[in-house]
Structure 1
Amino acid sequence: MPDTLPAAPDDAPLVGAPDADLLHVMSLNVRCAIDDTLPGSPDHWPDRAPLVGRLLARERPTLLGVQEAHFAQLTTVTGALGDDYRSVGHGREGGAAGEHSAIVYDARRLSLLWWDQFWLSDTPRLAGSTWDHVYPRVVTWARFRDERTGADLVHVNSHFDHESEPARVRSAEVVRDLVTGSGLPAVFTADCNAPAERSAPYDVLVTDGGLHDAWVVADRRLTPDVGTFPDYGEPVPGGERIDWILTSPGVEVRAAATSTWRQDGRWPSDHTPVQALLRLTAA
């Protein structure tokens, strides 16, 4: 069992900018902006946007997988991280329309070699297509070169369907084949809408699929074990982890964390960010 350290003070990052050859990876469902929410309500994006900005400016991940972000929300994300960061990914309706599962990266550290996006459907190149689930779902993935170590790596980011278990399983199979077929060290970030360690998508990817759950295999846990979807309420100890960071063999997980940071009782999102400190060890 990994060691668990006391939570960081409110004014200190849980992980922060990494030293040496380590990579800081974060997965964050920002909760889409809903136009008819009122000021003061937990969902109201103008109230939450500054909190998302403060969280990211403090943590400064090397790689960030974002889910649910509308195009305008991505400006908050990239603006908080600064001019050295870039993003890739289109909306799930095509172009800038709809929610994005974007990849944001520190361009000082990582050089983008190429990236792609496809839809989780039988017609993956058709924008907005589905496997008969209500909302389109996408996979965004990119290959990077770590300028500090010279190693290449693949980052895959997605948001699995919230209603259809068959769609989640098929999505997991697609991601598994993509990661294992890349032949490179890889990291997968996602809101999988399924509990880690006890769901069929987890079995496809981890139990039978050969990927590693960063929270489970980490050398250290920097925070207590809580569920990742508190829905603006108190985090549940030992609750369901539906937001995952998974890694391929050849990636060492030095630390993992689930951020429960909030300010004056307000949450940045209805999900908690999950974070990991990684080291590439082999292709």
Structure 2
Amino acid sequence: MRVVSWNLLTDTATDPPPWAERLPLVVAVLTDLAPHAVGTQEGSVAMLDDLAEALGERWVWVGEGRCGGRDDELTAVLVDTDRLEVRAWRTRWLSPTPEVPASTGWEAAFPRTLTEVHVRDRRDGTAYLLVNTHLDHVSGQARREGARLVAAAAAGRGAVVTGDFNAPADPADAAGPYAVLTATGLVDAVAVHDGDRSAGSFPAFAAPVVGAERIDWVLASPDLEVSAARVVADGVLGAAAARGQHASDHLPVVADVSTR
């Protein structure tokens, strides 16, 4: 199963190219990568509808807005239903009251969410749990406590975690979300397969820099085998960047996972 994590950049941003101009490039990149599931951040309902329609009728998305229902940004997961059957899903809030829509905690700047999706691989019947999130950009405590909720959601076999964690993938940061999540046994796919060769995942429309911070991650439970993973800065994206075109201020992260 190929999984992508990608912060799509909100359509309310005023400085970068508008979503209508970026959408064709996002579609081209995802078509080139050919994932089976995409954990997205910052997408609105309109953006996600546009993307699913452009990718084709086999694609669906699930998730709930961070202010509840279809309101505000989502941590939605897009699923290729030709390959994966969606069995169940739910959105929870990264707060002391995770079942309460729009709830916040720990001095977070905004409500933050995680989306859990239980899928079955139609090819071999394997069950996977996809957990996608977007941690707070201001409060370190909110990132740490949010990571604990993500870790609890991903406990068990067959779990793949995607997200924008707004913190570097730094094992030395004992108080950061990376340490919280990897301490549970979750494996950083890019660290294992691309290591120091990886570009930073948040170039903010500048040229990607090898060794810069990765704040977007794909993590897998230890029962899964990760055969390949990388931050995507080449191919369709690289060619577009050479022309001065960008799909988002973040780069996608891709990983191939399977059962051992």
TM-score normalised by length of structure 1: 0.84
| Contact in 1 for aligned 2:52/2:61 (Cα 8 Å) | yes
Residue pairs, 1:196-235, within 5 angstroms: 196-198=169-171, 199=173, 200-206=176-182, 208-218=183-193, 221=194, 224-235=197-208
| Contact in 2 for aligned 1:222/1:255 (Cα 8 Å) | no
Deviations, residues 9-54 of structure 1 (Å, cap 9, x unaligned): xxxxxxxxxxxxxx1100000000126x3xxx53422221221122
Residue 223 to residue 65, structure 1, CA distance change in 2 (3 Å) = farther
1:24 counterpart residue number? 2
Residue number among 53, 64, 67 corresponding to 1:79 in the alignment: 53
Moved more, 97-106 or 192-201: 192-201
Residue pairs, 1:1-283, within 5 angstroms: 23-34=1-12, 37=14, 42-131=16-105, 132-180=107-155, 183-198=156-171, 199=173, 200-206=176-182, 208-218=183-193, 221=194, 224-260=197-233, 261-262=237-238, 263=240, 264-281=243-260
After TM superposition, give the deviation of residue 210 of structure 1 in Å. Answer: 1.1
| Contact in 2 for aligned 1:161/1:168 (Cα 8 Å) | yes
Q: Which runs of 5+ in 2 are unaligned?
A: none
Q: How many residues get paired? A: 250
Deviations, residues 204-238 of structure 1 (Å, cap 9, x unaligned): 111x22110001223xx499411000000011110
| Contact in 1 for aligned 2:116/2:153 (Cα 8 Å) | no
The separation in 1 between residues aligned to 2:5 and 2:153, in whole angstroms, is: 19
Residue 189 to residue 136, structure 1, CA distance change in 2 (3 Å) = same
Q: Which runs of 5+ in 1 are unaligned?
A: 1-22
| Contact in 1 for aligned 2:39/2:78 (Cα 8 Å) | yes
Larger relative helix fraction? 2
DSSP-derived class of the 2:154 partner: helix
The separation in 2 between residues aligned to 1:122 and 1:54, in whole angstroms, is: 39
The separation in 1 between residues aligned to 2:30 and 2:196, in whole angstroms, is: 17
After TM superposition, give the deviation of residue 58 of structure 1 in Å. Answer: 2.1
| Contact in 2 for aligned 1:54/1:80 (Cα 8 Å) | no
The separation in 2 between residues aligned to 1:275 and 1:105, in whole angstroms, is: 14
TM-score normalised by length of structure 2: 0.91
% of aligned pairs identical?
40
Q: For 1:122, give the aligned amino acid.
A: P
| Contact in 2 for aligned 1:224/1:258 (Cα 8 Å) | no
Q: CA RMSD in A?
A: 1.7
The separation in 2 between residues aligned to 1:223 and 1:216, in whole angstroms, is: 8
| Contact in 1 for aligned 2:5/2:163 (Cα 8 Å) | yes
The separation in 2 between residues aligned to 1:174 and 1:222, in whole angstroms, is: 27
| Contact in 2 for aligned 1:42/1:266 (Cα 8 Å) | no
Q: For 1:250, give the aligned amino acid.
A: D
